[in-house]
Amino acid sequence: MTSGYQSSIEIESLDYSKFVSLINERNRCSGGIRTIQEATLQSRLTEKSKVLEIGSNTGFTSVNIGLLVNCNVVGIDINNCSIKNARDLAKKNGLENKVRFKQQDAIHLGFPDQHFDMVWASNVTSFIEDKEKSIREYLRVLKTNGTLCIVPIYYKKTPPIKLVDKVSQAINARLEVFYKDDWKSLFERTSRKFGFNTVLYYEKDFCYIDVSDKIEEFIQKTLESPNIKKMSKITIRAIENRARYFYNLFNENLKYCGFSILLYQKRLDHDESELFLTKDS
Mean pLDDT, the chain, as a whole number?
Answer: 93
Report residue 55 CA to chain centroid gap. Answer: 6
**Beta bridge partner(s), residue 142:** 116
Q: Give the model's confidence band at 4: pLDDT under 50 very low, under 70 low, under 90 confident, else very high.
A: low
What integer is the mean pLDDT of 37-58?
96
Range among 26-35, 203-212, 224-233 rated most confident: 203-212
Between 27-31, 48-52, 217-221, the lowest mean confidence (pLDDT) is in: 27-31
Where exactly are the structural domains of the chain? 15-215+259-266
State pLDDT tens for residues 61-101: 999 999 999 999 999 999 898 899 999 999 999 999 999 99
pLDDT at 3 over 70: no
Look at residue 274 in the predicted model and tell me its pLDDT: 82
Q: Give the model's confidence band at 30: pLDDT under 50 very low, under 70 low, under 90 confident, else very high.
A: very high
Look at residue 160 in the predicted model and tell me its pLDDT: 97
217-249 b/e with 16+ CB inside 10 Å = b? eebeebbeeeebeebeeebbebbbebbeebbeb
Q: Which CATH number fits domain 15-215+259-266: 3.20.20.70, 3.30.1340.30, 3.40.50.720, 3.40.50.150?
A: 3.40.50.150
Amino acid at 258: G
Closest CA to 261 of 27, 42, 55: 42
* Residue 109 backbone phi and psi in degrees, to 5: -75, 130
What integer is the mean pLDDT of 142-169?
97
- Strand 257-267 versus strand 197-207 pairing type: antiparallel
The answer to whether 111 and 78 are in contact (CB under 8 A) is no
Closest CA to 150 of 31, 38, 262: 262
Separation of alpha carbons 153 and 151, rounded Å: 7
Separation of alpha carbons 13 and 97, rounded Å: 36
Q: Give the model's confidence band at 2: pLDDT under 50 very low, under 70 low, under 90 confident, else very high.
A: very low
Look at residue 104 in the predicted model and tell me its pLDDT: 95
Between 25-39, 67-81, 175-189, 264-278, the lowest mean confidence (pLDDT) is in: 264-278
CB atoms within 10 A of CB 29: 26
If DSSP codes are grouped into helix, strand and coil, which group holds residue 68? helix
What integer is the mean pLDDT of 21-25?
82
Look at residue 25 in the predicted model and tell me its pLDDT: 80
- Name residues whose C-beta falls within 8 Å of residue 29's C-beta, 6 or more positions apart in sequence: 35, 36, 60, 61, 122, 123, 151
Look at residue 132 in the predicted model and tell me its pLDDT: 97
Name the helix (H) or strand (E) containing 251: helix 233-254
pLDDT at 183 over 80: yes
Separation of alpha carbons 139 and 135, rounded Å: 6
pTM, entire model? 0.90
What integer is the mean pLDDT of 103-113?
96
